[in-house]
Structure 1
Amino acid sequence: MAAVANFVKRDDRYKTEKPYLYHGPEQEGFPHSNLIYEESPLSLTDLRHVLDFKPTMESHGFCFIENKSKELPTLVDESNSQPYAVEMAGVLKKLLNATLVLPVQTRLRSSNKEEQQSKNRAPAGTEAHIDTTMFDAWPRIKMLLTPEEQDLVLSGKYRARIMNFWRPIINPAEAFPLAVLDPTSVDYSNDAVAIDQVAPMGAAETLYLKSNPNHRWYWKSNMTPDEAIAFTQYDTHPPEGRLNQIGHCAFRNPAARPDCPPRRSVEARFTVIEPAPYEKPTTLADPHPPEMLKQPWREFIHLPENPPMWKPSFAREDMQVLEVA
C-alpha cells in the first residue's frame, strides 16, 4: 500500500471555472466547494534514513531541525499560544539571521475527528497545498508592519518571507505525518491552481496542487515534539530567482500502527523581514488582475466592500522583543 494524499484533479471544468472552498453556514443550493480531488501516491523520501541529504532554507526552502520547546507543554489551545509563538519566532530569527520575525497565527490540528469537534482542532489536511499566492501574499505580509517597513519591502531592498513552523504535540507523528515538496521538482504553471477561500465576511486565495510523478516529497518518520519543520510559503527574494513556495500535506501513512495515537500538531505562521540578498523590483502591491474564470460562489456570497483577507492572531506591540536594533 502506497502513501497517498489528495490532489486537485486535472479537469476541464477548471479551464472556465475557478475552484473554491466556502467556510460558512449551509446555504440551500450552494455547495461548499466545486473541487474534485483524486488520491495519488507520493514519491516520498524519509530523511530519517538519508543522512547525506540535508535540505536547507536556501537550497530548498525548508529544513528539519531539532528543537526542544519550553512553552510546548503549556500549549492548551490557540487562545494561550502566544508564548509558544514568541518562542518559535526567536528560533526562526536565529535560524534565518533575520532582522524581524513577527508571529501571525497559530493553529492546532488533530487527526482525531472527535477532537476536531470537541476541542475545535483543525483536521490534519491531506490536500496538497500552499498557503498563499503572489497576490494574496502582500496583504498577509503588511498586516503587522509599520509604513516604513512596508516601504522597505516594496522598494526591494528588504526581503520578506511568510514562514510556517510545524511540530507534533505530545506524541510522535505516526498517523498522518507531514510531508513537504521540493520546489525544484514543481512546474508551478501546470501543477498549481489558485483556489478562492471564501467566508461570509471575506475571501482570500491559496494554491492547491495537481499530482505529478516528477514531484519529490520529503518527511521524517515518527517526528517527536522535539523536532520541527520550517518551510517557506512566500519569498520576495527566492534563491536563484526561482519560486520558493513549499507545497505540503498530511498523508495516510501505511506503516502506522492501527492503534497508534492520533496526530496532534501545532503550526505557527510568521512574517520574516531582513535585508535583501539582492535588489529587484517588486510587484507585491499590484492589485489582483481581473478574474477571467467564472467564480460560482459569487452568485450566493456577497462580500462587504474592501473585505478583510486575513486577521492576525497577535498584536505587534506584544512582539517588540523580537526586533534587532
Structure 2
Amino acid sequence: MAAVTAFFVRTDLHKTAKPYSWDGPDGQSFPKSNFTMNDMELNLTDIRTLPDFKPTIEENGFCFLENKSKELSKMTGADDCKPYLEEMAHFFIWRPMFNHAEDIPFAVCDPKTNIDLADVVSVDRVTHEAAKEVAYFSWNPAHRWYWMSNQTPDEIVIMTQYDTHPPGGFFNIVPHAAFRNGAARPGCPTRYSVEVRFIVLEPAPYQKDGPGPNGPFPEDGRLQPWKDWVTPPEPEPVPAPTADTRPMYF
C-alpha cells in the first residue's frame, strides 16, 4: 500500500548551522525554522499480513500486542535498588481510543533494517521558556516500516525510545510516524489516540565494552541560529535528596 509521511531534508546549510524549529506563538521576527520536510513514500507492510512475523522488544525494539486491561497499578518497595540501576530503558506505548485507527494510523520502523547515525538529525525545538533537542529522520529506502491495519483500542504498539543496553547491540531507537492512509474510507471517524511513556530500570543483561551504537554523540560545534533571537531561562537546579527520602516504585 502506498503510504506517505514527512522526512527531514538535509542541505549544505546544516553543515554549519544546527536545524531548529520555533514552537512558540506566531508573530516572531525571525524564521520559524531553517529546514524543510518532504513527503516521501514509506516501505510499509501491514503486520496482519505476516502471521509468522512476531516482532518483540528483545529482537526488534517494538511489538504489537492485544491488551484489554483497563487499569493496572501496583506500588511495591525494595530493599536494594542498586542492581536495577544498571540498565535504563524508555518505552513508548500507543493505542487508538474510541474507534479503530483507519486514517492517520501509526507506523514504526524496524531498527534492524540498516538505520545508521547518518539517518538521524538532531533538531532544537525552541520556545521562550525552554529549548530541547529532538530527533528527526531523513528518508532512506532501506528502512522497513510496519503498521497494523484497523488497529483497535484493544491493540497496542510498544516501542523502545532509548535503551542503555540494546539487545544485540543494534540501533535502539525505533522511529515512528503517523501517515495518511490512502485506503481509508472518505469521512471515516477521526482518529483519537493515547500515548504513555515508561522508564524501566532493571539489571543489565550484559557488560558493555563501549558506548554503544548510538551514543555518546560527538559535541555539536555548529551554530545555533535561534540563540541570536531567543534566550530561554536556565533550568532550575534539582535539590539533592535528603537522608529521609524513600524511593517509590510503580
TM-score band, normalised by shorter chain: 0.7 to 0.9
Q: 2:148 and 2:131 mapped to 1: Cα distance?
A: 34
* Cα pair 1:23 1:197 within 8 Å, conserved: yes
Gaps of 5+ in 1: 72-86, 91-98, 101-147, 309-316
CA shift for structure 1 position 320:
4.2
CA shift for structure 1 position 28:
3.2
What whole-Å deviation, never above 9, does each CA across 1:8-42 have from its counterpart, x for those lacking one?
01322211111112221235322222221111000
Aligned partner of 2:61 in structure 1 is 61
CA shift for structure 1 position 227:
0.1
What SS is found at the alignment partner of 2:181?
A: coil
CA shift for structure 1 position 291:
3.0
Q: 2:185 and 2:84 mapped to 1: Cα distance?
A: 50
Give the 3 Å change call, closer, same or farther, for CA 151–16 of structure 1 in structure 2. farther
- Which residue, out of 222, 235, 246, partners 1:293? 222
CA shift for structure 1 position 200:
1.9
Matches within 5 A, 1:208-287: 208-280=136-208
CA shift for structure 1 position 288:
7.6
Q: 1:10 and 1:26 mapped to 2: Cα distance?
A: 25
Gaps of 5+ in 2: 238-245
CA shift for structure 1 position 281:
6.3
CA shift for structure 1 position 295:
1.0
What SS is found at the alignment partner of 1:184?
A: coil
Q: Kindly provide the amino acid, as one letter, of the partner of residue 226 in structure 2.
A: W
Matches within 5 A, 1:285-324: 290-306=219-235, 320=248, 322=250
What SS is found at the alignment partner of 1:190?
A: helix
| CA RMSD, Structure 1 to Structure 2 (Å) | 2.9
* Cα pair 2:10 2:35 within 8 Å, conserved: no
What TM-score results when the alignment is normalised by the length of structure 2? 0.85
Aligned partner of 1:70 in structure 2 is 70
Larger Rg: 2
Aligned partner of 1:144 in structure 2 is none
Give the 3 Å change call, closer, same or farther, for CA 179–307 of structure 1 in structure 2. farther
Q: Kindly provide the amino acid, as one letter, of the partner of residue 184 in structure 2.
A: A
Q: 2:83 and 2:234 mapped to 1: Cα distance?
A: 25
Matches within 5 A, 1:139-150: none
The number of residue pairs the alignment matches comes to 238
Aligned partner of 2:127 in structure 1 is 199
Matches within 5 A, 1:15-26: 15-26=15-26
Q: Kindly provide the amino acid, as one letter, of the partner of residue 256 in structure 1.
A: A
CA shift for structure 1 position 199:
2.4
What SS is found at the alignment partner of 2:227?
A: helix
Q: 2:15 and 2:227 mapped to 1: Cα distance?
A: 18
Give the 3 Å change call, closer, same or farther, for CA 304–181 of structure 1 in structure 2. same
